Amino acid sequence: MLFDAHTHLNFEKYTEEERRGLAAEIEASDVGCIIDVADCVEAAKLALKDADDYPWCYAAVGIHPDHARDYEGICGDDPEKRRAADARLEADLEEIRKLAAHPKAVAIGEIGLDYYYGTDDRDEQQELFRRQIRLANELRMPIMIHTRDAHQLTMDILKEEGAFSDERKTWFPERPAAGGGTEPDARVQMHCFSGSPELALQYAKLGATMSLGGPVTFKNGKKAAEVVRQLPIEYLMSETDAPYMAPEPLRGRPNKPPYIEHIVRRMALLKGMEYDETARVLTENGKRFFGI
C-alpha cells in the first residue's frame, strides 16, 4: 500500500467526470490513502466532499499563502481597511474551524509562506500564516506547511506561534525515534520540503516530518535526494502534490496519486531499502501523522 500525504483531488480545474476518473484510477492502484489538500475555504468544502465520497480520502483544510491578497490591508495603516480585512479573514477562519470539525478533516493546511510568487503581500501572508497556526493549536490538529523562498522566516514563525512547543507535543502520541525508542511529535508536515539536509535535521529535532515528492526523482533534484538519503526514515513521508510536480519518467505531464510509486521507488533506492519495506514504513508514518 502507498500513502499520498499531499495531493489535490479537489483541484478546481477538474471536471466532475475527471475527478471520478481519477478516483477510479486511484482505486485500481496500490495507493491506499490520500490527503486531499485545500488552498481556500471553497477548496476545503470540495476536499471534504471527496472525503465523504471515498473511504481512502481524507482532507486538509486551510488557506494557502497565494490567497493572502484577499486580506489586503490587514497589516496596513488605514484603520478602516484594516478592520474590513480582519473581518474577512476572521469569517474565513471561522469557516475553516467549522470544516475542521468534520471527522475526516485531519490537518490544517496547506498554510505557510510563498515568497517566490508573493512579493507585495508578505505582511498579509505572515498574518494569515500566524492565525492558522493558532487555529491548529486551538483545535490540536496536525499542521501542513507550504514554504518557498522563506525557509528561515517559516521556521521562526512556527517557533514563535508554538508549533513546536512542549505543550503541543503532549497532545499527540510519541513517534518512533531514529535508532529506537520513541520521542515527542509536534505533527508539523513540511510539504514538498526543498531545504537542505541540515535544515531537515533541525526540523526533525523540533518534532517535524519532511514530506517529499517528485523532486526526489528529478536530475536537478539533488538536494531533495540528499534529504531522503540523510534523514532517518522515521522523519519522512511520501507525497505527489498532484496535479503538480509529476515525477520522472512522467515529468511534464499532469501528476496523479498513482504516480507516487515512482517517488517511493526512488526513495527506496536512496535509502538502500527494499521497495515493499519503504512503502510500508512511509504508509505507517503517514497514517500515524494524520491519526488514520
- Which residue ranges make up the site for Zn ion (CB under 5 A)? 241
Residue 112 or 258: which CB sits closer to Zn ion?
112
Amino acid letter, residue 214: G
Residue 64 or 187: which CB sits closer to Zn ion?
64
Residue with cell 514504513: 281
CB of 169 to Zn ion, least distance (A): 26
CB of 118 to Zn ion, least distance (A): 15
The C-alpha cell of 269 is what?
Answer: 533506492
Give the residue at shortest CB distance from Zn ion: 241
Q: List b or e across 262-278, with b for residues whose CB sees 16 or more CB atoms inside 10 angstroms.
A: bbbebbbbbbeeeeeeb
Give, rounded to a whole angstrom, the gap between the first and last alpha carbons of the chain: 14
Task: For residue 230, give the nearest of 289, 283, 269, 271 by alpha carbon.
Answer: 271
CB of 143 to Zn ion, least distance (A): 14
Residue 176 or 221: which CB sits closer to Zn ion?
221
DSSP state of 54: -
Cα 136 off chain centre by: 13
Residue 60 or 85: which CB sits closer to Zn ion?
60
Residue 51 or 74: which CB sits closer to Zn ion?
51
Residue 250 or 269: which CB sits closer to Zn ion?
250
The C-alpha cell of 255 is what?
Answer: 501528476
The C-alpha cell of 112 is what?
Answer: 505557510
Residue 67 or 168: which CB sits closer to Zn ion?
67
**CA-CA-CA-CA torsion sign (111, 112, 115, 116):** negative
Q: Which 3 state secondary structure label does DSSP give 139?
A: helix
CB of 239 to Zn ion, least distance (A): 8
CB of 242 to Zn ion, least distance (A): 9
Q: Which 3 state secondary structure label does DSSP give 257?
A: helix
Residue 114 or 241: which CB sits closer to Zn ion?
241
CB of 241 to Zn ion, least distance (A): 5
* Separation CA 32–CA 113 (nearest Å): 30
CB of 146 to Zn ion, least distance (A): 6
- Three-state secondary structure readout of 194-258: CCCHHHHHHHHHHCEEEEECHHHHCCCCHHHHHHHHHCCHHHEEECCCCCCCCCCCCCCCCCCHH
* Separation CA 204–CA 133 (nearest Å): 18
CB of 8 to Zn ion, least distance (A): 6
The C-alpha cell of 94 is what?
Answer: 471561522
